[in-house]
Amino acid sequence: MNTAEAGAVRSGLKEWIFTIDHKRVGVLYLFGSLAAFLLAGTMAMLIRTELLSPTNTITSNPTTYNVWLYFHGAAMILGFIIPSLTGFFANYYVPLMIGAKDVAFPRVNALSVWLYWVGVILALLTFVIPDPPDVMWTGYPPYSVITTGNTALYTFTVLLMGFSSIAGGVNLIATIILMRAPGMTWNKLNIFVWCTLGAFVLQLIFIPFLGNAVTLISLDKYLGTHFTTPSSGGSPLIFENIFWFYSHPAVYVMLLPGVGLIYEIVATFSRNRVFNYKGVVYGGILGSVALSGEVWAHHLYVTGNPDWLTIIITFTTLLISVPVGLLVIGLLGTLYRGSIEYRTPMLFAVGFIFLFLVGGLTGIPNAMSAIYMQLHSTYWIPGHFHYVMALSMTSAIIGGIYYVFPKLTGKMYNETLGKIGFVLLFIGFNVTFFLTMYMGVVYGMPRRFYSYEQFPEVHGIQQVTTMGSYIILLGALVVAASWIHGLIAGKRAPENPWGSRSLEWTHTQSPPPPGNFPRIPELSDDWGPYNYGKSLGATEEER
Amino acid sequence: MKKKIFIPAALHAAFFLAAATGHAQEVQDPREGWFELWHELLVDITVLGVVFATIALYLLIKYRRRHPDDVGTGKEVSTFAALSWVIIPGLIFLADDVYLGAKNFELWNVYRNVPKNAYVVEATGRMWSWGFKYPEGGGIETTNELRVPAGRPVEVKITSADVIHSLSLPYYKVKWDAQPGRSTHLWFYPKEPGEHVLTCVEYCGMMHSNMYGKVIVMPEKEFDKWVEENRPKGGSL
Ligand code: HEM
Ligand SMILES: [Cu+2]
Ligand SMILES: [Cu+2]
Closest CA in chain A for residue B208:
A449
Q: Is the CB of A81 under 6 A from ligand 1?
A: yes
Which ligand is the nearest neighbour of the Cα of A137?
1
- pLDDT of B136 reads 81
| Exposure class string for A265-274: b at 16+ Cβ within 10 A, else e | bbbbbbbbbb
Does B85 share its domain with B140? no
Interface contact A447-B201, CB threshold 8 A: yes
- Of A112, A169, A48, A80, the closest CA to residue A393 belongs to A80
State the amino acid at position B209 in one-letter form.
S
> For A415-421, what is the mean pLDDT?
96
Q: Is the CB of A188 under 6 A from ligand 1?
A: no
Minimum mean pLDDT range among A73-77, A91-95, B135-139: B135-139
Q: Is residue B210 over pLDDT 60?
A: yes
Task: Determine, yes or no, domain membership for B187.
Answer: yes
Distance CA B87, CA B90 (A): 5
Confidence of residue A462 (pLDDT cuts 50, 70, 90): very high
Does B107 share its domain with B168? no
Does B138 share its domain with B219? yes
Distance CA A368, CA A375 (A): 10
Confidence of residue A533 (pLDDT cuts 50, 70, 90): confident
Task: Determine, yes or no, domain membership for B103.
Answer: yes
Task: Determine, yes or no, domain membership for B34.
Answer: yes
Q: Is residue A10 over pLDDT 90?
A: no
Distance CA A362, CA A381 (A): 9
Neighbouring-strand partners of residue B196 = B215
Question: A488-506 pLDDT, tens per residue?
Answer: 999 999 989 999 999 999 9
- pLDDT of B27 reads 85
Cα angle: A102, vertex A106, A110; to 5 degrees: 130
Q: Where are the domains of chain A?
A: 24-506
> For A199-215, what is the mean pLDDT?
95
Confidence of residue A15 (pLDDT cuts 50, 70, 90): confident
Interface contact B74-A273, CB threshold 8 A: yes
Q: Is residue A536 over pLDDT 60?
A: no
Does B187 share its domain with B103? no
- B-contacting residues of A 343-362, CB under 8 Å? 350, 353-354, 357-358, 361-362
Does B142 share its domain with B98? no
Q: Is the CB of A432 under 6 A from ligand 1?
A: yes
- pLDDT of A233 reads 86
Distance CA A288, CA A258 (A): 14
- pLDDT of A540 reads 35
Q: Is the CB of A467 under 6 A from ligand 1?
A: no
Does B213 share its domain with B136? yes
| Helices within A179-235 (DSSP H only) | 191-223
Q: Which value does ipTM take for this structure?
A: 0.90
Task: Determine, yes or no, domain membership for B126.
Answer: yes
Does B160 share its domain with B183? yes
Confidence of residue B23 (pLDDT cuts 50, 70, 90): very low
Question: A464-492 pLDDT, tens per residue?
Answer: 999 999 999 999 999 999 999 999 999 99
- pLDDT of A269 reads 95
Distance CA B63, CA B71 (A): 11
Does B106 share its domain with B139? no
Residues of chain B contacting A371 with CB distance shorter than 8 Å: 34, 37-38, 41, 104, 107
- B-contacting residues of A 77-116, CB under 8 Å? none
Confidence of residue A307 (pLDDT cuts 50, 70, 90): confident
Distance CA A323, CA A188 (A): 21
Residues of chain A contacting B40 with CB distance shorter than 8 Å: none
- B-contacting residues of A 179-238, CB under 8 Å? 230-231, 235-237
A242 min Cα distance to partner chain B (Å) = 16
Residue A389 neighbours by CB under 8 Å, 6+ apart: A77, A81, A251, A254, A255, A359
- pLDDT of B167 reads 96
Which residue is closest in CA terms to ligand 1's atom 19?
A: A73
pTM score above 0.90: yes
Interface contact A446-B11, CB threshold 8 A: no
> For B31-48, what is the mean pLDDT?
95
Task: Determine, yes or no, domain membership for B1.
Answer: no
For the domain that residue B190 is a member of, what is the CATH number?
A: 2.60.40.420
Question: A344-353 pLDDT, tens per residue?
Answer: 999 999 999 9
Neighbouring-strand partners of residue B169 = B174
Q: Is residue B21 over pLDDT 70?
A: no
Confidence of residue B178 (pLDDT cuts 50, 70, 90): very high
Distance CA A437, CA A421 (A): 24
Minimum mean pLDDT range among A41-50, A276-285, B8-17: B8-17
pLDDT over 70, % of chain A: 96
> For B188-194, what is the mean pLDDT?
95
Distance CA A53, CA A56 (A): 7
Interface contact A340-B208, CB threshold 8 A: no
Task: Determine, yes or no, domain membership for B93.
Answer: yes
For ligand 1, what atom is nearest to the CA of residue A469? 5
Which ligand is the nearest neighbour of the Cα of A446?
1
- pLDDT of A535 reads 42
Q: What's the B105 CA to ligand 3 centre distance in angstroms?
A: 28
- pLDDT of B3 reads 39
- pLDDT of B24 reads 43
Distance CA B105, CA A367 (A): 12
pLDDT over 90, % of chain A: 87
Q: Does A364 touch chain B (CB under 8 A)?
A: yes
Pairing mode, if any, of strands B141-143 and B145-149?
unpaired
Which residue is closest in CA terms to ligand 1's atom 42?
A: A390
Written out in words, the top-level CATH class of the domain with range A24-506 is: mainly alpha
Average pLDDT value over all residues in chain A: 92
Does B137 share its domain with B198? yes
Confidence of residue A9 (pLDDT cuts 50, 70, 90): low
Confidence of residue A440 (pLDDT cuts 50, 70, 90): very high
Task: Determine, yes or no, domain membership for B51.
Answer: yes
B128 upstream amide cis, omega within 30 of 0: yes
Question: A38-64 pLDDT, tens per residue?
Answer: 999 999 999 999 999 999 999 999 999
Q: Is residue B6 over pLDDT 70?
A: no
Q: Is the CB of A469 under 6 A from ligand 1?
A: yes
Average pLDDT value over all residues in chain B: 87
- pLDDT of A61 reads 94
Confidence of residue B18 (pLDDT cuts 50, 70, 90): very low
- pLDDT of B1 reads 37
Does B154 share its domain with B190? yes
What is the phi-psi region of residue A183: left when phi exceeds 0, alpha when psi lies from -120 to 50, beta otherwise?
left
Does B156 share its domain with B91? no
Q: Which domain holds residue B180?
A: 119-230
Q: Does A120 touch chain B (CB under 8 A)?
A: no
Confidence of residue B25 (pLDDT cuts 50, 70, 90): low
For ligand 1, what atom is nearest to the CA of residue A447? 16
- pLDDT of A93 reads 94
- pLDDT of B15 reads 43
Interface contact B38-A364, CB threshold 8 A: no
Question: B141-154 pLDDT, tens per residue?
Answer: 999 999 999 999 99
- pLDDT of A40 reads 96
Task: Determine, yes or no, domain membership for B139.
Answer: yes
Total structural domains in chain B? 2
Distance CA A148, CA A66 (A): 13
- Cα atoms in the Cβ-side hemisphere of radius 13 Å centred on B107: 27
Confidence of residue A17 (pLDDT cuts 50, 70, 90): confident
Does B127 share its domain with B156? yes
- pLDDT of A354 reads 96
